């Protein structure tokens, strides 16, 4: 959600910034802009609605600079348009600024300080650069004006801000609160970005910024100060990830590449977490802290929430600790009565989701211990939780989460096993995680190798339909709602994931001739009941598609799943559902990796 890049000191500012924006494209955006300045009186501001390719087409050969800022915007306040795209400019044309986040008190600030300013956009962001312009006009230095403007933003506001002063264009002013931002340390120049991936072509060394910090960034200087104005010294951390890990590698879309990578991710997780003798590489302090709790709260959003539902089954079965799963945006403002000794698990691919972060901040204030399970080392939720476990899934670029979902479930299984083993729990001791995850990896491989069959099913049932249902019971219901989210977000088919037994209590009224109803059946205890529910919808004209474990399959079932441990069936059952979503989107002619209205990293509440 919104990408932000800046650089100072490199005379290839345009290509560096455009490259950075392209690397952040996957996060989701609807307009883009760039400002560069050559420090000799020439500067250029170019903005457009639409894709970065359109921005590039507007950048003529004469556009050049040694300092610059660029931005991809995901509209929150104001429609997607060139006027609302960043950078925004102060009324006197002196200050240029890009912003990620939300300024919650922008209306009040406008009224109180800027009533006479002619705003050029409908955004909340523009208010910040106009405040800087006003305060500089009143006699403050650029830095003082920047700091004063920031001091007026209310507690609910979130920002990553980059600013250039046209009268003094050798400094990039940087500020951060809640929205992610990193300084990239280079030789003879410096960069700043909302995600390390944007700048891996020029550096692997990054300095994280903390909330409230302000930076003056120059070609040979990184001057950080905290909210009180004290100088901050912080060493860079090294990102070992190869820049090519975020390339498509011959695939037409990242989503298909990432679906195909899942068997390898399962093997990687075995390597990262399981020792040769079957013991697990999980910090004993983490195990002890969780064991000391009387209830686990899993908090997450979207697909990560769905992975949490499966985690609930695993933790209760093996760790024997009561576990609840909550949608972060609900939990933050409608908190249930908490247990006496709660432990929080935040599941988040990006580690930046604002809804989850809001809950983590609240729980930190209450001094409750927490674990973040994330794909992104050094991400905000990782830094702010007591413990972190990494997903080791490699960069997930497609907006639709696939390999992060299965990696989350696998890590939850490893964690549950580790706690159970520590308790000498027989079920946990019998759960051979290396063997079970290897079976899963092999099963996933069989399914992705047969993807042409799923492509045919998508062509037959999903190209034309307006709506669809996924149904399942027990653990298959957990998979059904993730499968439905996948299908709706990339194909725009209105899809509901439903508890199979609940359909007849109302929703069956929506079944029409030809409505696709995809049922997931892996749990023997409820298989017969789900079969009855299939019959009920078939009798009303539905096109029934079955995704069924081998041992429960009937002749005529379209997708048969390899057998795996009963609590790990979501790891294989989701593969055909991901592929159905992918092919439905592709066959309908949509932008599979960047579905409309969606962002990869949702950094606003």
- Which of 20, 133, 184, 302 is the binder for ligand M6R (CB under 6 A)? 302
Other CB atoms within 10 A of residue 151 CB: 9
Nearer to ligand M6R, 7 or 489 (CB): 489
Q: Tokens in use for 597?
A: 């209205």
602 binds ligand M6R (CB under 6 A): yes
Of 215, 204, 227, 376, give the one whose Cα is nearest residue 304. 376
DSSP letter at 164 equals E
As a whole number of angstroms, the distance between CA 582 and CA 590 comes to 10
Distance CA 581, CA 23 (A): 24
Instruction: Using CB under 6 A, pick the residue from 348, 549, 569, 603 that binds ligand M6R.
Output: 348
Nearer to ligand M6R, 149 or 347 (CB): 347
CA–CA separation, 242 and 394 (whole Å): 10
* Alpha-carbon span 167 to 144, nearest angstrom: 15
Taking the complex as a whole, how short is the minimal distance between the CB of residue 105 and ligand M6R, in angstroms? 26
Instruction: Say whether residue 274 binds ligand M6R (CB under 6 A).
Output: no
Which string of DSSP letters, residue by residue, matches 177-240? ESS--EEEE-SSSEEEESSGGGGTTT-SEEEE--TT-EEEEETTEEEEE-TTS-EE----EE--
Comparison of 536 and 605: residue with beta carbon closer to ligand M6R = 605
Indicate whether 358 belongs to the interface with ligand M6R (CB under 6 A): no
Q: Using the rule CB under 6 A, which residue among 130, 203, 303, 585 binds ligand M6R?
A: 303
What is the crossing angle of helices 262-273 and 433-449, to 10°? 170
Cα separation, 448 vs 520, whole angstroms: 17
Place of tokens 């959003």: 301
Q: Is 528 left (phi over 0), alpha (psi -120 to 50) or beta?
A: alpha
Please state the closest distance from residue 28 (CB atom) to ligand M6R, in A.
Answer: 9
Reduce the secondary structure of 38-50 to three states and give it as a string. Answer: CCCCCEEEEEEEC
| Pairwise CA distance, residues 407 & 303, whole Å | 12
Q: Which of 157, 246, 349, 380 binds ligand M6R (CB under 6 A)?
A: 349
Given 81, 350, 358, 549, the residue binding ligand M6R (CB under 6 A): 350
CA distances to 60, 308, 324 from 313, rounded to whole Å, are 57, 9, 10
> Catalytic site residues?
2, 600
State which residue, 163 or 269, has the beta carbon closest to ligand M6R.
269
Q: Is the dihedral of CA 44, 46, 52, 53 positive or negative?
A: negative
Give residues with Cβ within 8 angstroms of 167, minimum separation 6: 94, 142
Does position 411 bind ligand M6R by CB under 6 A? Answer: no
In the bound complex, which residue of the shown chain has the CB atom lying closest to ligand M6R? Answer: 302
Query: Collapsing DSSP states into helix, strand and coil, what is residue 109?
Result: helix
Q: Compare residues 408 and 549 and give the one whose CB is closer to ligand M6R.
A: 408
Query: What is the rounded CA–CA span in Å between residue 357 and residue 380?
Result: 8
- Binding ligand M6R by CB under 6 A: which of 121, 401, 479, 533? 401
3-class state of residue 73 by DSSP: strand
Total of chain residues touching ligand M6R, rule CB under 6 A: 17
The residue within the footprint of ligand M6R, chosen from 10, 66, 353, 380 (CB under 6 A), is 353
d(CA 510, CA 496): 11
Q: Which of 18, 301, 441, 548 binds ligand M6R (CB under 6 A)?
A: 301
Distance, in Å, from the CA atom of 414 to the CA atom of 481, rounded to the nearest integer, reads: 23
At closest approach, how far in Å is the CB of 486 from ligand M6R? 6
Residue span binding ligand M6R (CB under 6 A) among the ranges 16-24, 86-94, 302-310, 420-428: 302-310
Q: Burial letters for 195-204: b for 16+ Cβ neighbours within 10 Å, e otherwise?
A: bbbbbbebbb
- List the interface residues with ligand M6R, window 473-492 (CB under 6 A): 485, 489
> What is the smallest separation between the CB atom of 400 and ligand M6R, expressed in angstroms?
4
Count of C-beta atoms within a 10 Å radius of residue 155: 7
- State in angstroms the smallest separation of the CB of 119 from ligand M6R: 31
CB 268, min distance to ligand M6R, A = 18
CB-based contact 203:40 (threshold 8 Å): no
Please report how close the Cβ of residue 420 comes to ligand M6R at its closest, in angstroms.
Answer: 26
Cβ proximity to ligand M6R, 489 vs 523, nearer residue: 489
Is 356 one of the binding residues for ligand M6R (CB under 6 A)? Answer: yes
We find the least distance from the C-beta atom of residue 303 to ligand M6R, in angstroms, to be 3
* Candidates 66-74, 298-306, 384-392, 431-439; binding stretch for ligand M6R (CB under 6 A): 298-306
- Of the two residues 90 and 353, which places its CB atom closer to ligand M6R in the complex? 353
Using the contact rule CB under 6 A, the part of the chain among 170-178, 315-323, 347-355, 464-472 near ligand M6R is: 347-355
CB of 54 to ligand M6R, least distance (A): 24
- Which of 55/301 has CB closer to ligand M6R? 301
Q: Judged by CB under 6 A, which of 399, 437, 526, 548 binds ligand M6R?
A: 399
Contact 42, 64 (CB under 8 A): yes
Q: Which is nearer to ligand M6R, 530 or 601 (CB)?
A: 601
400 binds ligand M6R (CB under 6 A): yes
Between 353 and 491, CB nearer to ligand M6R: 353
Residues that bind ligand M6R (CB under 6 A): 301-304, 348-350, 353, 356, 399-401, 485, 489, 598, 601-602
């Amino acid at each position: 959600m919104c990408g932000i890049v800046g650089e100072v000191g490199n005379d290839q500012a345009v290509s560096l910034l455009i490259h950075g924006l392209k690397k952040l494209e996957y996060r989701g955006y609807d307009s883009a802009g760039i400002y560069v300045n050559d420090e000799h009186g020439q500067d250029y501001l170019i903005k457009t609605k639409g894709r970065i390719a359109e921005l590039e087409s507007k950048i003529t050969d004469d556009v050049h600079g040694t300092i610059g800022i660029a931005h991809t915007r995901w509209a929150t306040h104001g429609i997607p348009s060139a006027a609302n795209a960043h950078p925004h400019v102060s009324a006197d044309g002196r200050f240029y600024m890009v912003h990620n986040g939300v300024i919650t008190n922008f209306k009040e600030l406008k009224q109180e300080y800027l009533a006479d300013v002619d705003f050029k956009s409908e955004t909340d962001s523009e208010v910040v650069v106009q405040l800087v312009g006003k305060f500089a006009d009143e006699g403050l230095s650029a830095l003082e004006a920047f700091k004063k403007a920031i001091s007026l933003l209310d507690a609910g506001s979130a920002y990553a801000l980059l600013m250039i002063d046209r009268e003094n264009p050798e400094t990039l002013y940087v500020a951060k609160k809640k929205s992610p931002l990193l300084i990239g340390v280079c030789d003879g120049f410096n960069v700043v970005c909302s995600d390390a991936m944007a700048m891996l072509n020029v550096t692997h060394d990054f300095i994280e910024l903390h909330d409230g910090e302000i930076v003056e960034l120059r070609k040979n200087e990184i001057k950080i100060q905290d909210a009180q104005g004290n100088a901050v010294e912080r060493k860079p951390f090294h990102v070992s990830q190869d820049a090519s890990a975020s390339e498509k590698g011959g695939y037409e879309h990242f989503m298909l590449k990432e679906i195909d990578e899942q068997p390898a991710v399962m093997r990687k997780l075995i390597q990262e977490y399981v020792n040769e003798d079957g013991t697990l590489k999980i910090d004993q302090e983490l195990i002890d802290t969780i064991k000391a709790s009387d209830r686990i709260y899993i908090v997450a959003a979207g697909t990560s929430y769905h992975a949490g539902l499966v985690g609930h089954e695993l933790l209760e079965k093996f760790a024997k600790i009561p576990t609840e799963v909550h949608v972060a945006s609900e939990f933050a403002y409608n908190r249930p009565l908490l247990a006496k000794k709660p432990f929080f698990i935040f599941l988040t691919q990006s580690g930046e989701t604002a809804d989850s972060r809001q809950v983590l901040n609240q729980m930190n204030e209450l001094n409750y211990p927490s674990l973040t399970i994330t794909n992104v080392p050094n991400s905000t939720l990782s830094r702010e939780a007591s413990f972190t476990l990494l997903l080791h899934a490699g960069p997930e670029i497609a907006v639709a989460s696939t390999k992060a979902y299965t990696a989350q479930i696998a890590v939850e299984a490893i964690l549950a096993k580790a706690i159970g083993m520590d308790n000498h729990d027989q079920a946990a001791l019998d759960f051979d995680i290396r063997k079970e995850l290897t079976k899963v990896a092999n099963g996933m491989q069989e399914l992705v190798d047969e993807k042409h069959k799923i492509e045919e099913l998508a062509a037959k049932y999903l190209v034309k339909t307006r709506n669809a249902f996924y149904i399942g019971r027990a653990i298959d219901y957990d998979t059904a709602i993730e499968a439905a989210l996948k299908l709706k977000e990339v194909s725009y088919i209105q899809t509901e994931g439903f508890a199979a037994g609940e359909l007849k209590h109302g929703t069956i009224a929506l079944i029409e001739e030809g409505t696709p109803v995809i049922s997931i059946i892996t749990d023997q205890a409820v298989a017969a009941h789900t079969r009855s529910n299939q019959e009920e919808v078939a009798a009303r004209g539905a096109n029934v598609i079955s995704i069924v474990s081998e041992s429960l399959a009937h002749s005529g079932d379209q997708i048969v799943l390899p057998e795996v441990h009963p609590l790990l069936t979501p790891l294989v059952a989701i593969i055909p559902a991901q592929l159905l979503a992918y092919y439905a989107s592709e066959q309908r002619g949509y932008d599979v990796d960047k579905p409309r209205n969606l962002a990869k990293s949702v950094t606003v509440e």
